[in-house]
Amino acid sequence: MSDKRPLIIPHRVVEHNRRLESTLNRRLSVTLATYKSIEAMAELAVVALAFYSIYHGADPLLAFALTAVVVGGWKVVEFLAVYADDLAEARDAVDGSD
């Protein structure tokens, strides 16, 4: 019989998602699941648009470079949202200790 272990998610990923959901709830009143769904649909639409553009004669390198920028942009937005909240918490902690 095989030893079935539960899937273990790295602590950093869990912590990032927890902080991201907190930020999304506070700033946009959106859950993490909703945000990830919108992100996935937007990425799928951009990839489909890239293929459509290539089919109609667009330069493939340019089409997929723009796709990479859009797809990577979501991750940058996530990082900056969490980072901005971390900075705000650090400032509040410093202001509170004075």
Give 55-82 pLDDT, tens digit per residue. 999 999 999 999 999 999 988 988 888 8
CA-based torsion, 43, 70, 35, 20: positive or negative: positive
**Whole-Å CA distances, 70 to 10, 51, 56, 74, 95:** 26, 15, 20, 7, 37
Query: What is the Cα–Cα distance from 40 to 17, expressed in whole angstroms?
Result: 16
Residue range 9-41, pLDDT digits in tens: 888 888 888 988 998 898 889 999 999 999 999
